[in-house]
Amino acid sequence: MKKCNLTLLISVIIISIFGVLMIYSASYIWSEYKYGDALKYVKNQGLFLIIGIVLMIIISKIDYKLYLKKSNLILISCLVLLILVLIPGIGTVRNGSRSWFGIGSFGIQPSEFTKLGLLIFVSKYLAYNEKATKSFKGILPILGILMLVFGLIMLQPDFGTGTIIVMSIIGLLFVGGVDFKYFIRLGIVGVIGVVGLILVAPYRLSRILSFLNPWSDPLGSGFQIIQSLYAIGPGGLFGFGIGNSRQKHFFLPEPQTDFIFSIISEELGFLGCLIIITLFVIICYNGFKISRNCNDLFGKYLSFGIIFQIGFQACLNLMVVVGLIPVTGVTLPFLSYGGSSLLITLCSIGIVLNISRYK
């Protein structure tokens, strides 16, 4: 047993602290207007950051093979929470989605815990059923559970989180050695499924159309992406300086959440964006390096899945913010406001740090 990967640990702490700073800068105008307290969001996020860092360090010292033994229990608990949150009176509605358990002024999002729980279960399955993954029949149990989880999340609805979970598991199956021809079949099923989801909820079609031409409805479905581009464009090389964003003055809705990168770009310019992207690259590089060097299959798959999920979510958020894909409602890991997201992401990194301790 050796020391954990310090580069990964330090990079995560730096980007998380920077995230709290930017949440304050992005939110104090809206927070003062809505709650009469300019520090409302930053206090909540700061509390979750402290708890998250403590948990990350504790988890980095707990043998990751414990999750292997408890993987079934973890997955069942996540499924129960996904069902409970759909029940009126237990789950609360925020921004049109019944995705939260309200606890005072805080909210807990069970889908965030499911992202990690499903990775643990699939990593165990791949480690113990290596030969089964060579046939389509062998991966059917994983696909069945994946569709169940995706269905429960879409009932909330939360298409962004559902997409991240599906793509994370597909990435894990790919490195697990599943034949590429099965991914073609899954892709066809996925396209049919997306068309079905658009037909069921026409607002998704309006999001796609607004993505193609946001100025066709500048005060409606295209408003958020247009304001995001107005924030990114003038930032230049060094930006306007921390605290000097114009778009957070009631132009860009809830700038501390999904579109916090727009405010970073406006206030810190290209240089600030480059620093953030570099930190994500360092985190992903070190995470994949830990996965590659791990001789235990469960540890290898789990560390890869966690880092791939974080990297994919970051890429998805950045593509939305710069207008490359339609708005999905996905947060930027470590940086966007959201206690559940930050907490579970830091705990996930704690697991990867523990895996890095083993040769």
What does the pLDDT look like over 79-97, one tens digit per residue? 998 888 888 777 777 766 7
- Which of the four pLDDT bands, split at 50, 70 and 90, describes residue 236? confident
**What is the structure's pLDDT at 105?**
61
**What is the structure's pLDDT at 202?**
65
For strands 92-94 and 97-103, give the pairing: antiparallel
Q: Which H or E element spans position 100?
A: strand 97-103
Task: Tell me the three state secondary structure of residue 359.
Answer: coil
**What is the structure's pLDDT at 135?**
72
- Which of the four pLDDT bands, split at 50, 70 and 90, describes residue 349? very high
**What is the structure's pLDDT at 217?**
72
- Which of the four pLDDT bands, split at 50, 70 and 90, describes residue 340? confident
**Residue in the block written with tokens 């060579």:** 134
Does residue 255 surpass a pLDDT of 70? yes
Nearest to 107, CA basis, from 309, 317, 332, 337: 337
Does residue 206 surpass a pLDDT of 70? no
pTM of this prediction? Answer: 0.91
What's the whole-number average pLDDT of the chain?
A: 86
Does residue 283 surpass a pLDDT of 80? yes
Q: For residues 318 and 325, is the Cβ–Cβ distance under 8 A?
A: no
**What is the structure's pLDDT at 205?**
67
**What is the structure's pLDDT at 175?**
85
Does residue 1 surpass a pLDDT of 60? no
- Which of the four pLDDT bands, split at 50, 70 and 90, describes residue 106? low
Q: 171: buried, middle or exposed (CB in 10 Å: 19+, 13-18, 0-12)?
A: middle
